[in-house]
């Protein structure tokens, strides 16, 4: 079969790129011809632009000054931006098989695919896509005999917006099969479509660990460290990482994509996706606020803590941890469990990886079977 993938492959984001790579490699392992359909809408590319080029006319004084200040900061931090961009673009160029032509809209997708897979990642998060984007929802012109399959699509916390959207509801009913990453989304969408909706794992779990081992790039300084990876700022997570590092007598290493004029000690700003994998692989302990940070902590069998911020932003990580009976590894800053209690568990591993692996294999089998049912 010739299979196309529509996902967030163009994001300068570790999780987005690695999940796209994983799904591509798994399908290739299954002896199919596969490529990622090169659709990157303007609203996504603008997020990674060096400057905000929108006109200042019509803005009040404060918003105008704020945007000017932001552009000045971006100008001064261009070396950081370009170094990071180089790493992400290099991964896309060297690791992802993209369609020969860029796709601009629903009418420019080639009719050569036997199946198109939509996902994974938050392609159905209407906040990210600035409303209904027909390409990510499969509202496209394809051959009548082609399969439209959603794999591990996620919508974030705003699922009610989908239920209230006539366009989303209509598009969902036209899928050959639907699977999502979180069970609460499956339950909600069942009200819309007259078909079973499967809950599957993120694509990063579909491939064997040796796939990641082959492309990872280890840190040049081989030493023990506590890894801190935040996609949302958390003073609590920083405090926890610092406490654990003191107990273990190892430094804190932070992977960050923040824009800085001058670097800070202990923070790595330019890690490529391959280096990201290497930092997770070699860490002694990991503190993260990220879904994919949590996923790669589990893949590498690391002692870890996922720090939440409360509200809908934690749903994806909590859903993953619940499936693996690792909910005790999720903590909120205002929870009863204090840092000292967490610190006391670090000296000896408290995660029973044998049990986790058994649960994970069952979920992997279910996820792979979902694709296999449609010849993939």
The rounded percent of the chain whose pLDDT value lies above 90 is 69
* Helix ranges, the chain (H): 14-29, 42-45, 61-76, 78-95, 159-163, 166-172, 183-189, 209-215, 235-248, 273-282, 291-299, 315-323, 339-345, 353-372
- Residue 80: inside a domain: no
pLDDT of 69: 66
In this predicted model, what pLDDT tens digit does every residue of 102-132 receive, in sequence order?
998 888 898 999 999 999 999 999 999 999 9
Cβ 175 vs Cβ 148: under 8 Å: yes
Check which CATH number belongs to the domain holding 308 and give it.
3.40.50.2000
Backbone angles phi, psi at 306, to 5 degrees: -100, 115
Whether omega for the bond prior to residue 120 falls within 30 degrees of 0, making it cis, is: yes
Nearest one of 282, 275, 285 to 255, comparing CA atoms: 275
Cβ 303 vs Cβ 349: under 8 Å: yes
- How far is the C-alpha of 136 from the C-alpha of 124, rounded, in Å? 7
Burial pattern 130-157, b for ≥16 Cβ within 10 A else e, equals eebbebbbbbbebeeebbbbbbbbbbbb
- How far is the C-alpha of 237 from the C-alpha of 307, rounded, in Å? 6
Backbone angles phi, psi at 287, to 5 degrees: -120, 125
- How far is the C-alpha of 105 from the C-alpha of 133, rounded, in Å? 9
Same domain, 301 and 334: yes
Cβ 115 vs Cβ 149: under 8 Å: yes
pLDDT of 347 above 60: no
In this predicted model, what pLDDT tens digit does every residue of 229-277 receive, in sequence order?
999 889 999 999 999 999 999 999 999 876 554 456 667 778 999 999 9
Can you give the pTM of this predicted structure?
0.91
Number of domains in the chain: 2
Token readout for 102 is 């860029």
Q: Name the least confident of 10-14, 125-129, 213-217, 346-350.
A: 346-350
- Residue 54: inside a domain: no
Check which CATH number belongs to the domain holding 122 and give it.
3.40.50
Nearest one of 44, 58, 48, 57 to 8, comparing CA atoms: 44
Give the domain extent around 9: 2-45+94-207+363-372
For the sheet with 330-331, list strands across it: 267-268, 252-255, 226-229, 285-288, 303-307, 330-331
pLDDT of 341: 64
Question: In 3-state terms, what secondary structure has residue 195?
Answer: coil
Nearest one of 302, 301, 311, 305 to 290, comparing CA atoms: 305
Same domain, 182 and 252: no
Same domain, 113 and 220: no
Cβ 244 vs Cβ 347: under 8 Å: no
Same domain, 197 and 255: no
Same domain, 115 and 164: yes
């Amino acid at each position: 079969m010739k299979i196309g993938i529509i996902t967030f492959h163009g994001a300068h984001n570790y999780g987005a790129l690695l999940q796209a790579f994983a799904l591509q490699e798994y399908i290739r392992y299954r002896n199919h011809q596969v490529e990622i359909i090169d659709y990157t809408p303007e609203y996504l590319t603008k997020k990674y632009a060096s400057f905000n080029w929108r006109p200042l006319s019509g803005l009040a004084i404060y918003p105008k000054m704020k945007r000017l200040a932001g552009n000045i900061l971006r100008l001064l931090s261009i070396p950081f931006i370009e170094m990071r961009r180089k790493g992400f673009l290099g991964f896309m160029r060297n690791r992802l098989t993209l369609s020969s032509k860029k796709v601009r809209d629903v009418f420019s997708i080639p009719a050569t695919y036997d199946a198109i897979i939509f996902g994974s990642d938050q392609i159905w998060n209407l906040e990210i896509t600035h409303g209904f984007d027909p390409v990510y929802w499969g509202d496209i012109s394809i051959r009548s005999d082609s399969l439209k399959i959603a794999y591990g699509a996620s919508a974030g916390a705003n699922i009610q917006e989908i239920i209230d959207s006539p366009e989303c509801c209509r598009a969902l009913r036209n899928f050959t099969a639907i699977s999502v990453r979180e069970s609460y989304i499956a339950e909600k969408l069942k009200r819309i479509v007259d078909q079973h909706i499967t809950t599957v794992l993120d694509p990063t779990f579909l491939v064997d660990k040796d796939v990641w081992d082959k492309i990872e790039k280890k840190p040049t300084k081989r030493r023990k460290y506590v890894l801190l990876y935040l996609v949302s700022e958390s003073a609590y997570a920083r405090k926890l990482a610092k406490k654990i590092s003191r107990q273990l007598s190892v430094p804190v290493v932070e992977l960050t994509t923040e824009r800085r004029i001058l670097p800070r000690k202990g923070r790595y700003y330019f890690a490529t996706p391959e280096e990201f994998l290497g930092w997770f692989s070699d860490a002694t302990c990991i503190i993260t606020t990220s879904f994919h940070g949590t996923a790669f902590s589990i893949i590498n069998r690391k002692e870890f803590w996922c720090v939440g911020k409360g509200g809908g932003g934690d749903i994806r990580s909590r859903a993953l941890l619940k499936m693996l009976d690792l909910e005790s590894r999720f903590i909120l800053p205002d929870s009863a469990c204090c840092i000292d209690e967490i610190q006391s568990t670090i000296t000896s591993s408290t995660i029973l990886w044998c049990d986790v692996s058994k649960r994970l294999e069952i979920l992997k089998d279910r996820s792979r079977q979902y694709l296999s049912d449609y010849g993939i």
